[in-house]
Structure 1
Amino acid sequence: MYKLLIVDDEKEIREGLASWSWETVGIEVAGTCSHGLEALQFVEERPVDIVVTDIRMPFMDGIELMTSMNARYPFIRVVILSGYSDFEYAQKALQFGAIDYLLKPLQFQMLRDTFARAVERLREEKQAELRVSVLKRKAELLTRVLRDDFLRRLFQEPLSEADFEEGCAGGEVLLEGGSFTVAIFRPDRIAAGAPIGDKERRLLAFSLDNILEDLWEGKELGYHWVNGQTGEAYVLCAKPEAERHFAELLPMWRKYRGLFKSAFSGGIGHAAAFPAGIHLSARAAAAALAANAEEGTLAFASPVHAAFRPETAEPATREPSRAGAAEGGRPGEEPVSALLTQAKQYIRDHYDRSLTLKEVAEQVHVSGSHLFALFKNSGQTFLSFLTSIRLQRAMELLSGTNLKIYEIVEQVGYSDPAYFTEVFKKHTGRTPHEYRSRSR
């Protein structure tokens, strides 16, 4: 049977829909949720085939939910619930990917007909397309896991240049420029020691993560990581005027106060000129937050001696020793050149999927740090070489095919279209759409 998730902020409707005889159309109710953010958490943890959702809900409405699911779970089908007053809105939802809509009050025959069509549509889909969706989903999950782990380490510990490059490549993180500032936000009720269950804690962390992805990454201001145990959100601003951006973020939490049942306080660290200083900025932000006794406000890190300020931090590590010396020979000797040639060929053969420095190093039987040094001493880095191969192929596909942008993103090894666009524009000076238009 196909799995169904019911999403509506009205308890009576949720319970009424859940009690209907879904087995008559080959469907089983997997669960119910009261708003879009809760539904997103549900589908991330459990398999779902169809979602029936109301349009008007707090925190995340039906259109926003559908848009998020289209990006993350394109194989999930959505049916919209709406009242007569939202009829035009429901029709518009069809343009965003909904397969059908139902008008309230619900009629059982219409309910049966709608979901019979939905099930038939699911059955007609080719198995090959489903396999592609599953593989794509696995790649996206891998990238997300790598990104979360890298950002956690970036905020909490110093990283070597090799670890930094590995994290940026595997997690699709772009950190370039000359200003990196960290702020830490916390729900005040958790800081005050209010009791909170595991389920609520997971929903809080999940909701924070998704909200910041929209409010922060969506505006290309930087990156974030949410500590699932403490509920603290580490937010990195990679733009100038970081304090202004953080100050603008704080009032936005008010929209979600009913969801979190809490105001948020924050602490802002010192600006760092290099990514190597990000963990120091986070440390200063944590100290400022710990000293902040006023709920719903931002506190700033106290001044520190210039010799210890994050902006004076050197890049992640000192310059590595020459690659040839690391192998007991001189730079440019044949064994070293052969290793680098093998590594580059492996990248050319496998650039179209998630690829890490560690994997390539294992293929040529050296450590990740040594391969990093080989690349750097050749005048480029592992990440820059991988990026050049991917972008060259992307430009060929943009100018020579009619593939959609998201299809090209997948074919050149990226999982995040927004990250691809950011990298493409940085290296070519144009967005993918602009490049395609001009090349033709």
Structure 2
Amino acid sequence: MYTVLLVDDEEEVIQVIMRKINWEELGFSVIGSAGNGVKALELVEEFQPDVVVTDIKMPYMDGLELSNRVKSEFPATKILLFTGFDEFEYAKEAVHLEVEEYILKPVNSAELKSVFSQLKMKLDQEISEKRNVETLQKYYLESLPLLRADFYSGLIEGRVHEDEISRYLSDCQVSFPGPLFDCLVIHTSSSQEAGDMDPLLLSASVREQAKERLREKWQAKSFAYLGNTVFIVQLQNENQVWELTDECDRFCRYARRMLGAVVTLGIGQVCGSILELPRSYSSAREAVSYRAVYGASRAINMKEIVPQKMDRDVISCEKQLSDLFRMIRVGSEEEITEAAGRYLHHIAIADKSLQQHCLERMELLNMLLRFSANNGISMGEDMEDMGKLYSSILDMEPDAFRSWILKVSLSFREQLIRVRSNSTESLVTGAKEYVQNNYGDAKLSLDDICAALGVSNSYFSTVFKKETGSSFIGYLTDYRLDRAARLLIETNEKSYMIAGRVGYSDPNYFSYVFKKRFGASPSKYRTEHAKSEE
């Protein structure tokens, strides 16, 4: 079933259209309707319909402006325009909007059915082309040449030295103008693939779709690495990483909807040289592991979720120790216990010398101290006498040592959970304070609040909705209307002046949203509450 959004300021027109067509028989379902372009754009952002059917003449935002916004932000969405005979030529001039069809009013059911039948065939063909096995095989066989893939993998592994860069760039015929660079890791779930499709073909399809969306704008280089797809992107300034995060998040949702693929995209640390890409790659790969905390089918930027860790070197240690720290960050108590067991088994090999055992215990303690400092959490030990702490660790019996490791590891896990919770609460509090100070600005937007807080739109929207139960736009609207309601009761100002004070430049639209919220126009609301106070 493809989804349809109907937009017309005449409710009876929408009802006629819904009755004239057997939507299910044609392969469509109507997910909702709107009476103006502003409301329609909110529904498009929330539901991402496959088709938007809109009238041209509407209040607050007309159909052409709505079509332009939809095509700009959701290019895969199809647009059908209703036009009157007198505005038909005007609509036809808007060819840059890539409108699928122009339908003259009054609506003819046979014509409408024919239009949607043709549109269904076009949508089916687009999805068929994306899922066609032969096309996927072609994508897979036409992946980057081995020489480039080896160069890119060498960069993120740290195998390429500074004096070799110019030769590699020349041999591979690639360039990295920068000036800044970032690694992205795209993980496609092999356990949740679309139907019976081969996981390799699905990953190849995701890779090709990501290349289409990211390669040109971000000058991205891509290659397959350790079962994932890695992109090396180039930025003009550090603030662009938030725009990149939002675009990656939209891609993850697109891949789920169009390809049936569960994709998590990790965004690493921004660096100033391609020789620093190993750190960026390590942090991007770690970001992907946070899908256990933040969920899959989304982009995860390590700088947003663990900001205090990003400016430090990535911890390097044996695999078992690395697994233990990873479980502390994203695992359950049971997984931490198992990881600790594997590490202890690794260091308890009998033929090691006493000196080796001591060195490994001291290494573990150093790693724990560094981890606690990097993440702003406590070891729970007396840190005044470090010599005493080292001595106690070295003197512990194996069982006591095991208990101590579990105690500290589980304590770290609980503290990290609280730190993440406090971080999101602080973010929401900052957003609310920003609204309190700037709600009167008619141009206040989600982009403004995210720029002020230094986070991406996608991360902020997820956190704000989770913490408050409301979208940011919904919260801003409610706050403005609550302030307006108080001003109507407490002052004698005209409603159009109050509208401007609370951030509405159009008094008519202010009256529309106010009535929708309170069930009465501003003037009637003032009269009713004035009587009640008497």
TM superposition score normalised by structure 2: 0.32
Q: Greater CA radius of gyration, 1 or 2? A: 2
Structure with the bigger RCO (C-alpha within 8 Å, sep 6+) is: 1
